[in-house]
Structure 1
Amino acid sequence: MQQRRSSWRSRSPRRAVALLWALGLVGLVLGALLGDSSELGSGWSVCYGLWVAVWLVLRAATRGVTERPPSQLDERELKIHDRFLSLGYYTALVGCALVVVHLQVISHVDPTGVAQSSQLLLITLGLAGSVPTVAFAWTAPDEDPEDFEVG
Protein backbone atom coordinates (compact mmCIF):
# COMPACT_ATOMS: atom_id res chain seq x y z
CA MET A 1 0.00 0.00 0.00
CA GLN A 2 2.75 2.43 0.96
CA GLN A 3 4.69 1.62 -2.21
CA ARG A 4 1.66 2.31 -4.39
CA ARG A 5 0.89 5.54 -2.55
CA SER A 6 4.45 6.83 -2.81
CA SER A 7 4.66 6.00 -6.54
CA TRP A 8 1.86 8.42 -7.48
CA ARG A 9 3.43 11.01 -5.21
CA SER A 10 6.78 10.85 -7.00
CA ARG A 11 8.09 13.68 -9.13
CA SER A 12 7.03 12.49 -12.61
CA PRO A 13 3.31 11.99 -11.81
CA ARG A 14 3.23 15.26 -9.86
CA ARG A 15 4.73 17.11 -12.81
CA ALA A 16 2.24 15.53 -15.21
CA VAL A 17 -0.65 16.66 -13.01
CA ALA A 18 0.94 20.13 -12.66
CA LEU A 19 1.08 20.39 -16.47
CA LEU A 20 -2.57 19.34 -16.66
CA TRP A 21 -3.37 22.08 -14.11
CA ALA A 22 -1.47 24.66 -16.22
CA LEU A 23 -3.31 23.60 -19.39
CA GLY A 24 -6.58 23.96 -17.50
CA LEU A 25 -5.54 27.45 -16.44
CA VAL A 26 -4.81 28.47 -20.02
CA GLY A 27 -8.13 27.00 -21.15
CA LEU A 28 -10.06 28.84 -18.45
CA VAL A 29 -8.45 32.19 -19.26
CA LEU A 30 -9.02 31.74 -22.99
CA GLY A 31 -12.59 30.64 -22.33
CA ALA A 32 -13.21 33.72 -20.20
CA LEU A 33 -11.62 36.13 -22.67
CA LEU A 34 -12.86 34.62 -25.92
CA GLY A 35 -16.12 33.03 -24.82
CA ASP A 36 -19.59 34.53 -24.64
CA SER A 37 -19.34 37.10 -21.85
CA SER A 38 -23.10 37.55 -21.57
CA GLU A 39 -23.38 34.42 -19.43
CA LEU A 40 -21.10 32.46 -17.14
CA GLY A 41 -21.84 29.32 -19.11
CA SER A 42 -22.15 25.90 -17.55
CA GLY A 43 -19.32 24.56 -19.71
CA TRP A 44 -16.90 27.08 -18.26
CA SER A 45 -18.12 26.31 -14.74
CA VAL A 46 -17.57 22.57 -15.26
CA CYS A 47 -14.04 23.27 -16.53
CA TYR A 48 -13.41 25.40 -13.46
CA GLY A 49 -14.59 22.56 -11.22
CA LEU A 50 -12.28 20.12 -13.01
CA TRP A 51 -9.39 22.56 -12.62
CA VAL A 52 -10.03 22.71 -8.87
CA ALA A 53 -10.20 18.89 -8.78
CA VAL A 54 -6.76 18.68 -10.42
CA TRP A 55 -5.44 21.05 -7.73
CA LEU A 56 -6.92 18.78 -5.04
CA VAL A 57 -5.04 15.82 -6.55
CA LEU A 58 -1.82 17.83 -6.37
CA ARG A 59 -2.64 18.81 -2.82
CA ALA A 60 -2.98 15.15 -1.87
CA ALA A 61 0.25 14.30 -3.71
CA THR A 62 2.15 16.95 -1.74
CA ARG A 63 0.38 16.10 1.53
CA GLY A 64 -1.02 19.62 1.74
CA VAL A 65 2.28 21.01 3.02
CA THR A 66 1.55 24.46 1.60
CA GLU A 67 -1.99 24.62 3.02
CA ARG A 68 -1.68 23.09 6.49
CA PRO A 69 -1.45 25.32 9.56
CA PRO A 70 2.14 25.96 10.68
CA SER A 71 1.49 24.23 14.02
CA GLN A 72 1.07 20.90 12.17
CA LEU A 73 4.37 21.10 10.29
CA ASP A 74 7.87 20.06 11.21
CA GLU A 75 10.83 22.40 10.72
CA ARG A 76 11.57 21.34 7.12
CA GLU A 77 7.92 21.51 6.09
CA LEU A 78 7.57 24.93 7.73
CA LYS A 79 10.36 26.35 5.55
CA ILE A 80 8.67 24.92 2.45
CA HIS A 81 5.30 26.27 3.61
CA ASP A 82 6.61 29.80 4.11
CA ARG A 83 8.54 29.85 0.84
CA PHE A 84 5.64 28.76 -1.34
CA LEU A 85 2.92 30.60 0.57
CA SER A 86 4.60 33.91 -0.25
CA LEU A 87 4.46 32.90 -3.92
CA GLY A 88 0.68 32.54 -3.61
CA TYR A 89 0.44 35.95 -1.96
CA TYR A 90 2.32 37.68 -4.77
CA THR A 91 0.27 35.78 -7.35
CA ALA A 92 -2.90 37.12 -5.72
CA LEU A 93 -1.58 40.69 -5.77
CA VAL A 94 -0.58 40.60 -9.43
CA GLY A 95 -3.69 38.69 -10.49
CA CYS A 96 -6.06 41.10 -8.75
CA ALA A 97 -4.21 44.08 -10.25
CA LEU A 98 -4.63 42.57 -13.73
CA VAL A 99 -8.35 42.01 -13.14
CA VAL A 100 -8.73 45.64 -12.03
CA VAL A 101 -6.96 46.83 -15.19
CA HIS A 102 -9.19 44.54 -17.24
CA LEU A 103 -12.28 45.99 -15.54
CA GLN A 104 -11.12 49.52 -16.30
CA VAL A 105 -10.49 48.76 -19.95
CA ILE A 106 -13.61 46.67 -20.50
CA SER A 107 -15.89 49.22 -18.82
CA HIS A 108 -15.01 51.72 -21.55
CA VAL A 109 -15.24 49.25 -24.41
CA ASP A 110 -18.12 46.93 -23.44
CA PRO A 111 -20.09 47.65 -20.26
CA THR A 112 -21.66 44.16 -20.42
CA GLY A 113 -18.24 42.53 -20.05
CA VAL A 114 -18.43 42.44 -16.26
CA ALA A 115 -19.29 38.72 -16.38
CA GLN A 116 -15.98 38.17 -18.14
CA SER A 117 -14.18 39.97 -15.32
CA SER A 118 -15.97 37.86 -12.73
CA GLN A 119 -14.67 34.75 -14.47
CA LEU A 120 -11.16 36.19 -14.43
CA LEU A 121 -11.54 37.01 -10.74
CA LEU A 122 -12.57 33.40 -10.00
CA ILE A 123 -9.51 32.22 -11.91
CA THR A 124 -7.32 34.64 -9.92
CA LEU A 125 -8.68 33.34 -6.62
CA GLY A 126 -8.09 29.75 -7.67
CA LEU A 127 -4.66 30.63 -8.98
CA ALA A 128 -3.59 32.34 -5.77
CA GLY A 129 -4.76 29.39 -3.70
CA SER A 130 -3.22 26.69 -5.86
CA VAL A 131 0.07 28.19 -7.08
CA PRO A 132 1.94 27.28 -3.87
CA THR A 133 0.89 23.63 -4.21
CA VAL A 134 1.63 23.46 -7.93
CA ALA A 135 5.06 25.08 -7.54
CA PHE A 136 5.93 22.73 -4.68
CA ALA A 137 4.66 19.70 -6.63
CA TRP A 138 6.86 20.70 -9.56
CA THR A 139 10.05 21.36 -7.57
CA ALA A 140 9.90 18.86 -4.70
CA PRO A 141 12.21 15.86 -4.94
CA ASP A 142 10.92 12.30 -4.69
CA GLU A 143 10.05 11.17 -1.18
CA ASP A 144 12.45 8.89 0.64
CA PRO A 145 10.78 5.49 1.28
CA GLU A 146 12.59 5.28 4.63
CA ASP A 147 10.42 8.16 5.85
CA PHE A 148 7.40 5.83 5.72
CA GLU A 149 8.89 2.88 7.61
CA VAL A 150 7.21 2.21 10.92
CA GLY A 151 9.19 1.02 13.88
Structure 2
Amino acid sequence: MTAATEPSTLLERYQAYRVKRWLAREKQLTGMLPGWRTRGRRRALVVTVVVALTALFVTGVLCAFGLEWAALFAGLSALVFLPSWTMLRIVSHAQDDAPAETLDELEMAQRETARSIGLTITQTLCVLPVVYVIWSGALFPEADAFRTAYAGGVMILATLLAGGCAPAMILAWSTPDPEPEG
Protein backbone atom coordinates (compact mmCIF):
# COMPACT_ATOMS: atom_id res chain seq x y z
CA MET A 1 0.00 0.00 0.00
CA THR A 2 1.23 3.46 -0.79
CA ALA A 3 0.74 6.43 1.46
CA ALA A 4 -2.01 7.72 -0.84
CA THR A 5 -4.15 4.57 -0.48
CA GLU A 6 -3.65 3.88 3.22
CA PRO A 7 -6.77 4.38 5.34
CA SER A 8 -6.49 7.71 7.07
CA THR A 9 -9.54 8.08 9.26
CA LEU A 10 -10.48 5.90 12.18
CA LEU A 11 -13.56 4.65 10.33
CA GLU A 12 -11.53 3.71 7.24
CA ARG A 13 -8.95 1.87 9.36
CA TYR A 14 -11.70 -0.02 11.19
CA GLN A 15 -13.37 -0.94 7.89
CA ALA A 16 -10.05 -2.22 6.51
CA TYR A 17 -9.59 -4.26 9.69
CA ARG A 18 -13.13 -5.69 9.35
CA VAL A 19 -12.48 -6.74 5.76
CA LYS A 20 -9.20 -8.41 6.71
CA ARG A 21 -10.79 -10.20 9.68
CA TRP A 22 -13.84 -11.31 7.65
CA LEU A 23 -11.69 -12.70 4.83
CA ALA A 24 -9.55 -14.63 7.32
CA ARG A 25 -12.63 -16.06 9.02
CA GLU A 26 -14.19 -16.92 5.66
CA LYS A 27 -11.02 -18.79 4.70
CA GLN A 28 -11.20 -20.75 7.98
CA LEU A 29 -14.86 -21.68 7.61
CA THR A 30 -14.92 -22.45 3.88
CA GLY A 31 -14.42 -26.20 4.27
CA MET A 32 -16.59 -26.65 7.33
CA LEU A 33 -19.92 -28.50 7.15
CA PRO A 34 -19.85 -29.20 3.38
CA GLY A 35 -22.89 -31.47 3.56
CA TRP A 36 -24.97 -28.70 5.13
CA ARG A 37 -24.46 -26.14 2.36
CA THR A 38 -27.38 -27.27 0.21
CA ARG A 39 -30.55 -25.22 0.07
CA GLY A 40 -32.57 -27.98 1.75
CA ARG A 41 -30.21 -28.28 4.69
CA ARG A 42 -29.94 -24.51 5.07
CA ARG A 43 -33.72 -24.30 5.13
CA ALA A 44 -33.85 -27.02 7.79
CA LEU A 45 -31.46 -24.93 9.90
CA VAL A 46 -33.62 -21.84 9.37
CA VAL A 47 -36.70 -23.77 10.54
CA THR A 48 -34.77 -25.04 13.58
CA VAL A 49 -33.73 -21.49 14.50
CA VAL A 50 -37.32 -20.24 14.11
CA VAL A 51 -38.67 -23.09 16.25
CA ALA A 52 -36.09 -22.40 18.98
CA LEU A 53 -36.90 -18.67 19.02
CA THR A 54 -40.63 -19.39 19.04
CA ALA A 55 -40.12 -21.75 21.98
CA LEU A 56 -38.19 -19.01 23.77
CA PHE A 57 -41.04 -16.53 23.21
CA VAL A 58 -43.65 -19.07 24.35
CA THR A 59 -41.53 -19.64 27.47
CA GLY A 60 -41.90 -15.94 28.26
CA VAL A 61 -45.65 -16.07 27.70
CA LEU A 62 -46.04 -19.11 29.94
CA CYS A 63 -43.97 -17.45 32.65
CA ALA A 64 -46.20 -14.36 32.38
CA PHE A 65 -49.12 -16.60 33.33
CA GLY A 66 -47.26 -17.82 36.41
CA LEU A 67 -45.94 -21.18 35.23
CA GLU A 68 -42.49 -21.07 36.84
CA TRP A 69 -41.53 -24.52 35.51
CA ALA A 70 -41.77 -23.10 31.98
CA ALA A 71 -38.54 -21.17 32.60
CA LEU A 72 -36.69 -24.46 32.01
CA PHE A 73 -37.68 -24.24 28.36
CA ALA A 74 -35.60 -21.07 27.98
CA GLY A 75 -32.47 -23.10 28.59
CA LEU A 76 -33.62 -25.88 26.29
CA SER A 77 -34.41 -23.48 23.48
CA ALA A 78 -30.97 -21.90 23.91
CA LEU A 79 -29.40 -25.36 23.60
CA VAL A 80 -31.18 -25.77 20.26
CA PHE A 81 -30.74 -22.18 19.07
CA LEU A 82 -27.00 -21.70 19.62
CA PRO A 83 -25.66 -24.66 17.62
CA SER A 84 -28.24 -24.31 14.83
CA TRP A 85 -27.57 -20.57 14.54
CA THR A 86 -23.82 -21.15 14.48
CA MET A 87 -24.19 -23.81 11.78
CA LEU A 88 -26.47 -21.55 9.74
CA ARG A 89 -23.92 -18.73 9.86
CA ILE A 90 -21.16 -21.08 8.74
CA VAL A 91 -23.03 -22.61 5.81
CA SER A 92 -24.40 -19.26 4.60
CA HIS A 93 -20.95 -17.61 4.69
CA ALA A 94 -22.21 -14.96 7.16
CA GLN A 95 -23.19 -12.85 4.15
CA ASP A 96 -25.59 -10.79 6.28
CA ASP A 97 -22.63 -9.36 8.20
CA ALA A 98 -20.03 -9.25 5.44
CA PRO A 99 -18.23 -5.96 4.80
CA ALA A 100 -19.43 -4.22 1.65
CA GLU A 101 -16.03 -4.55 0.00
CA THR A 102 -16.33 -8.35 0.01
CA LEU A 103 -19.69 -8.50 -1.81
CA ASP A 104 -20.62 -8.01 -5.43
CA GLU A 105 -23.53 -5.74 -6.44
CA LEU A 106 -26.16 -8.50 -6.39
CA GLU A 107 -25.03 -9.81 -2.99
CA MET A 108 -25.01 -6.26 -1.64
CA ALA A 109 -28.56 -5.62 -2.86
CA GLN A 110 -29.78 -8.92 -1.39
CA ARG A 111 -28.07 -8.19 1.92
CA GLU A 112 -29.53 -4.69 2.18
CA THR A 113 -33.03 -5.99 1.39
CA ALA A 114 -32.67 -8.72 4.03
CA ARG A 115 -31.41 -6.20 6.58
CA SER A 116 -34.35 -3.92 5.88
CA ILE A 117 -36.78 -6.80 6.38
CA GLY A 118 -34.93 -7.76 9.58
CA LEU A 119 -35.35 -4.25 10.98
CA THR A 120 -39.06 -4.32 10.17
CA ILE A 121 -39.40 -7.72 11.85
CA THR A 122 -37.56 -6.45 14.93
CA GLN A 123 -39.72 -3.36 15.25
CA THR A 124 -42.95 -5.25 14.68
CA LEU A 125 -42.27 -8.21 16.97
CA CYS A 126 -40.86 -6.15 19.85
CA VAL A 127 -44.02 -4.09 20.25
CA LEU A 128 -46.05 -6.80 22.01
CA PRO A 129 -43.52 -7.72 24.72
CA VAL A 130 -42.59 -4.09 25.33
CA VAL A 131 -46.26 -3.20 25.76
CA TYR A 132 -46.56 -6.15 28.16
CA VAL A 133 -43.64 -4.93 30.26
CA ILE A 134 -44.88 -1.33 30.32
CA TRP A 135 -48.55 -2.00 30.95
CA SER A 136 -48.33 -5.00 33.24
CA GLY A 137 -46.84 -2.85 36.00
CA ALA A 138 -49.32 -0.05 35.42
CA LEU A 139 -52.47 -2.18 35.13
CA PHE A 140 -51.53 -4.89 37.64
CA PRO A 141 -49.36 -3.30 40.34
CA GLU A 142 -49.91 -6.31 42.60
CA ALA A 143 -48.34 -8.66 40.01
CA ASP A 144 -45.10 -10.35 40.93
CA ALA A 145 -42.37 -7.99 39.71
CA PHE A 146 -39.85 -10.79 39.21
CA ARG A 147 -42.28 -12.84 37.10
CA THR A 148 -43.26 -9.81 35.07
CA ALA A 149 -39.67 -8.77 34.45
CA TYR A 150 -38.49 -12.31 33.62
CA ALA A 151 -41.38 -13.04 31.29
CA GLY A 152 -41.08 -9.68 29.54
CA GLY A 153 -37.31 -9.99 29.28
CA VAL A 154 -37.51 -13.45 27.73
CA MET A 155 -40.14 -12.31 25.24
CA ILE A 156 -38.10 -9.23 24.30
CA LEU A 157 -34.95 -11.34 23.95
CA ALA A 158 -36.76 -13.76 21.63
CA THR A 159 -38.13 -10.97 19.43
CA LEU A 160 -34.78 -9.13 19.27
CA LEU A 161 -32.99 -12.34 18.34
CA ALA A 162 -35.63 -13.10 15.70
CA GLY A 163 -35.21 -9.70 14.09
CA GLY A 164 -31.43 -9.82 14.37
CA CYS A 165 -31.25 -13.32 12.88
CA ALA A 166 -33.79 -12.57 10.14
CA PRO A 167 -31.33 -11.24 7.52
CA ALA A 168 -29.16 -14.36 7.72
CA MET A 169 -32.21 -16.61 7.70
CA ILE A 170 -33.68 -14.81 4.67
CA LEU A 171 -30.40 -15.04 2.76
CA ALA A 172 -29.86 -18.70 3.71
CA TRP A 173 -33.43 -19.57 2.68
CA SER A 174 -33.35 -17.78 -0.67
CA THR A 175 -29.78 -18.39 -1.86
CA PRO A 176 -29.61 -21.15 -4.48
CA ASP A 177 -27.32 -24.16 -4.09
CA PRO A 178 -23.68 -23.43 -4.81
CA GLU A 179 -22.42 -24.26 -8.28
CA PRO A 180 -20.62 -27.60 -8.45
CA GLU A 181 -16.88 -27.20 -8.76
CA GLY A 182 -15.23 -28.67 -11.77
TM-score, with length taken from structure 2: 0.69
Among 61, 65, 70, the residue aligned to 2:100: 70
Quote the offset at 1:43 in angstroms.
5.0
Quote the offset at 1:62 in angstroms.
0.9
Q: 1:12-44: CA deviations, max 9, x gaps?
A: 111111111121122111111113576994651
Which runs of structure 2 are paired with 1:40-79 in the superposition (5 Å)?
41=71, 43-79=73-109
Partner SS, residue 96 of structure 2: coil
1:138 alignment partner AA: W
Bigger relative contact order, structure 1 or 2, given CA contacts below 8 A and separation 6+? 1
8 Å contact from structure 1 (residues 65, 81) kept in 2: yes
Among 127, 150, 161, the residue aligned to 1:115: 150
8 Å contact from structure 2 (residues 100, 108) kept in 1: yes
Inter-partner Cα distance in structure 2 for 1:47 and 1:100: 21
Partner SS, residue 66 of structure 1: helix
RMSD of aligned Cα (Å): 2.6
Structure 1: tracts of 5 or more residues without a match:
none
Q: Which moved more, 1:89-98 or 1:46-55?
A: 46-55
TM-score, with length taken from structure 1: 0.81
1:23 aligned residue: 51
Quote the offset at 1:105 in angstroms.
3.6
Identity %: 23
Structure 2: tracts of 5 or more residues without a match:
1-29
Tell which structure's C-alpha radius of gyration is larger.
2
